[in-house]
Amino acid sequence: MSLKKINTKMLDTILKKMVDTVDQSKDEIFQIGEQCRNDFEELTRELNEVREMVFKVIDEGEGLHQQSKFARLRLSEVSKHFQTYSEDQVREAYEKAHDLQMKLSMNRQLEQQLRERRDELERRLQSLGDTIERAEHLCSQISVVLNYLNSDLRQVNEALEDAKQRQDFGLKIIEAQEDERKRLSREIHDGPAQMMANVLMRSDLIERVYRERGADEAIKEIRDLKRMVRSALYEVRRIIYDLRPMALDDLGLIPTLKKYLSTIEEYNQETSIQFVNIGLDIRLPSKYEVALFRLVQESVQNALKHAQSKQIQVKVEVKKDKITVVVKDNGKGFDKEKQKSGSFGIMGMKERVDLLEGDITIDSKIGAGTVVLIQVPLTM
């Protein structure tokens, strides 16, 4: 069918209804996810309380067990030498042994109930965690659909030859945007947001430590609190820098890499990072500078977070017709055969290199570190 014969108004009406329906579904899934998160937090608090009660009941049970043991021994002695004890002494020994036995039985029953409640809460938390993860995944997928439905694809239509290419191109762009948003959201949630929540909890703890243990112990907690705040500040700065370092536009690739690696080394004092530039120190087209910076950034972060490297070496060689980048670390490495297929970090690196028509090789062995070799043809 010719595109000219399509009723665009009807398509707009249908599209609007689809967008409204999908958007409403997204809101409902989001609300489900939020409710699950609230329930997850409540259950987590209850689980912590139940665990503390279990430990307390166990301690009490051990004390009651010892007391009951001595009471039974006393009763046994009184029973054997009945004639030498008064009626009141016999009655007292029997009642005490019976009372302790009843308390111990109730203690064991309470412990069993608390253990069952603890196991139930753990199962519910696992189920809620799975539900939250599925809700986030659905929201992300629906966002892709919404963005695609709302996007104006006319300019893309002019650039592509057929409808299949237009669809693939549009979806690829939107999925990349959504993946980046999701990654940034998770980094903020798992990094600064989590740290700030811990800061609030730690501040409450400091007050209690000050009241119960005194000023010296409270000062130690304050020092730990300062370290947590410093780490949170570093994470915020790193996330801002990850969005796009301004120095890349102003100074170019080589100076920006020097500054970035120096900053990373400063915040990871146990790791030595060496940068070597053995080629031309010239400005490159923006697409090369951005892609190569992100590739080095991803490789270094992998070496720090996953490989726990103590030494990282970054080499860059820029020639007139080719750019070579080598990132080498002495970390714990990984088994390439067992590496999860579709890993977002490695997949993203390969896609960046493919867009530049280059090659990437990742050589790693367990206990022997990792070497990332990137070669990109340069067309000025």
Q: How confident is the model at residue 177 (pLDDT cuts 50, 70, 90)?
A: low
- The parent domain of residue 343 ranges over 251-377
Query: Exposed e or buried b for every residue in 17-48, given b needs 16+ CB within 10 A?
Result: eeeeebbeebeebeebbeebeeebeebeeebe
CATH code, domain carrying 15: 1.10.287
Position 290 confidence tier, pLDDT thresholds 50, 70, 90: confident
Give the pLDDT mean for 247-261: 83
- Same domain (yes/no): 197, 148: yes
Q: Is residue 149 very low, low, confident or very high in pLDDT (cuts 50, 70, 90)?
A: low
- Are 39 and 148 part of one and the same domain? yes
> Using an 8 Å Cβ cutoff, are 54 and 100 in contact?
no
Question: Does the pLDDT at position 166 exceed 70?
Answer: no
Question: Which CATH number belongs to the domain containing residue 371 in this structure?
Answer: 3.30.565.10
| Tens of pLDDT, residues 313-331 | 999 999 988 999 999 998 8
Same domain for 190 and 281, yes or no, is no
Average pLDDT over residues 20-36: 79
Contact 87, 147 (CB under 8 A): no
94 and 163 housed in the same domain: yes
C-alpha 67/C-alpha 98 separation (Å) is 11
Indicate whether 230 and 357 sit together in one domain: no
pLDDT over 60 at 168, yes or no? no
pLDDT value at 268 more than 90: no
Q: Which residue has the higher pLDDT, 298 or 29?
A: 298
| Predicted TM-score of the model (pTM) | 0.42
> Please, which residues have CB within 8 angstroms of residue 373's CB and are 6 or more apart in sequence?
324, 325, 326, 360, 361, 362, 363
Contacting residues for 348 by C-beta, under 8 A, at least 6 apart: 298
95-143 pLDDT, tens digit each:
888 888 898 889 899 889 988 988 998 888 888 888 888 878 787 777 7
Distance, first Cα to last Cα, the chain: 43
Q: What is the mean pLDDT of residues 142-160?
A: 56
Per-residue tokens: 266: 């400063």
Which of 166-170, 189-193, 286-290 has the lowest average pLDDT? 166-170
Q: Are 56 and 174 within one domain?
A: yes
Q: Alpha-carbon distance 255 to 63, whole Å? A: 68
Domain identity same for 97 and 220: yes
Residues 277 and 357 in one domain: yes
pLDDT at 274: 93
Percent of the chain exceeding pLDDT 90 equals: 11
- Tell me the one-letter amino acid at 252: G
DSSP state of 280: -
Q: What percent of the chain has pLDDT over 70?
A: 76
Task: Look at the chain and report how many structural domains it folds into.
Answer: 2
